A and B are shown apart, each in its own frame.
Chain A
Amino acid sequence: MDHITFLVAVVIVTALAFDFTNGFHDTANAMATSIATGALKPKTAVLISGALNIVGAFLSTEVAKTISGGIVDDTLVTPGMIFAGLVGAILWNLLTWLLGLPSSSSHALFGGLIGAVWVGAGSNGVHFDKVVEKILIPAVASPLVAGIAALLATYLAYRITARARKDSVTKGFRLGQIASASLVSLAHGTNDAQKTMGVITLTLISVGALGHDAGPPVWVIASAGLAIGLGTYIGGWRIIRTMGKGLTDIQSPQGFAAEAASTTVILTSAHLGFALSTTQVCSGGILGAGLGRRLAEVRWGTAGRMVIAWLVTLPAAAAVGGLSATVVKHGGNLGTALIALIAAAVAGFIVIASRRNPVHADNVNETHEVTIRGGASTDVRTAA
């Protein structure tokens, strides 16, 4: 294990940390609507989702051949830049979690890498046409497609079952939601865990610890799968609340339609080689389902804040990634350790800030807002 230098070890740990945040940031994608409609108990939902993410990680053999899918010039990427990019992605994921905003973990990772490569190797290391093709266009198109599909499906589902017994309908669609939510989780595990495996594997290849074209060693698959599964199980409850309750009031037929739309869009796009963000697809599906039921309230304020977060994700992660890359580039191992310490401190601060008004399995469905300051709701709880 001579090849495993300090820097490589730090990159691996950071990559697993990112994988963990990716998991808990994205629990909401699969499970938010099932939790909101009561199809699954909150704890059961995250357990199923976590387990399926681990299964998905082991199932996916085709590990990403490139770290970024061509968005940056992979030949110029050094372990230091990967580390800096991951730091940018992790911090952005934590900040959006604190605010309860569903934003794309993949965009955060790409953003962090773009910033780090730009600083580390110059702007010619970043392929801006690919950024438009792989990030911008899918980011606009995929939520729209999922939204339109979910809107039509919701409208028809309510039309068809309009005169049927309400309790039978609710129960039937709840059962359907369990299947559709599980599919989203499985698809997520096969896609997102392999991103981290790709990062670790390519880092090991770049320092000569693995041969060219080597697949990920078993310990990489196992640790990446466990990290994302554990993150999913811990559950990003703040984001689950926003997606399940915040965007619109979801009933079980809507939840089923939204999840069916998300699953279909994710699978069709993957089949046709179209990159997209699971988070954005699922949010689009939920908004569409909100519009498809008459009298359902869609909270455009929350939706607007979410879209702003989508727009800011890439540049914000890029800024942090770029800043970290500067320190790593000039500071060497000392700089790397410094950035790792600062990142851990900021992460700790964000976690402490979240404690002031915590969202967890027991209160996730109580209101539709995620606030940072301790508000009236906590006072009522302690008084009651």
Chain B
Amino acid sequence: MSLDWNALGEVFAVSVGVTVGVVVVFALGVLGIAQVETAREQDGGTHALGFAQAGLCFLACAAVVAYGIYLIVPQFH
């Protein structure tokens, strides 16, 4: 019985990398939204940087989700 350490290592590296990446990017997006909401409440203004940050981060996450759906649905490949 041989254990395929390479496949196992690959699963480990890709899984940890993608998970941490997605969650960190999403957390940055949430942080952006939080800044926007804080600014709106304090002086009725908008927080342009926070807004842009949230938009970019959520767009990146949406792209990963789209790739996930692509992987799940066999008709796409």
Contact of B15 among A146, A172, A186 (CB under 8 A): A146
Interface residues of B in 1-50 (CB under 8 A from A): 1, 3, 7-8, 10-12, 14-16, 18-20, 22-24, 26-31, 33-35, 37-38
**Can you list 17 A-B contacts (CB < 8 A)?**
A141-B12, A148-B16, A153-B19, A154-B23, A160-B31, A161-B27, A161-B30, A176-B26, A183-B68, A264-B15, A264-B19, A267-B71, A267-B72, A268-B14, A270-B71, A272-B7, A274-B11
Size class of A's contact patch?
Answer: 35 or more
A-B pair number, CB within 8 angstroms: 129
7 A-B pairs besides A141-B8, A153-B24, A268-B10 with CB distance below 8 A are A137-B3, A149-B19, A153-B23, A157-B23, A169-B30, A179-B61, A267-B71
CB distance from A295 to the nearest CB of B (A): 18
Tell me, yes or no, whether A109 is within 8 Å of chain B by CB: no
In this complex, how many residues of chain B approach chain A with their Cβ under 8 Å: the count is 36
A154 and B20 CA atoms in complex are apart in Å by: 8
Are A272 and B10 touching (Cβ within 8 A)?
Answer: yes
Contact assessment for A152 and B20 in the assembled complex, using a CB-CB cutoff below 8 Å = yes
Is B30 a contact of A257 with CB atoms below 8 Å? no
Residues of B within 8 A of A274 (CB): 7-8, 11
For chain A residues 270-284, which have a beta carbon within 8 Å of chain B? 270-274
Give the residue of A145, A156, A179 whose beta carbon is less than 8 angstroms from that of B23: A156
A136 to B67, CA, bound (A): 30
Of residues A62, A141, A149, which shows the largest number of chain B Cβ atoms within 10 Å of its Cβ?
A149
Q: Tell me whether B65 is interfacial, beta carbon within 8 Å.
A: yes
Cα A181 to Cα B15 in complex, Å, equals: 17
Closest to B23 in A: A153
Residues in B with CB closer than 8 Å to A187 are 72
Complex contacts, B72 vs chain A, CB 8 Å: 56, 59, 183, 186-187, 190, 267
Given known A149-B19, A264-B19, contact A172–B30 (CB-CB < 8 A): yes
Q: Which residue of chain B has the shortest Cβ distance to A271 in the bound complex?
A: B71
Q: Is B69 within 8 A of A183, CB to CB?
A: yes
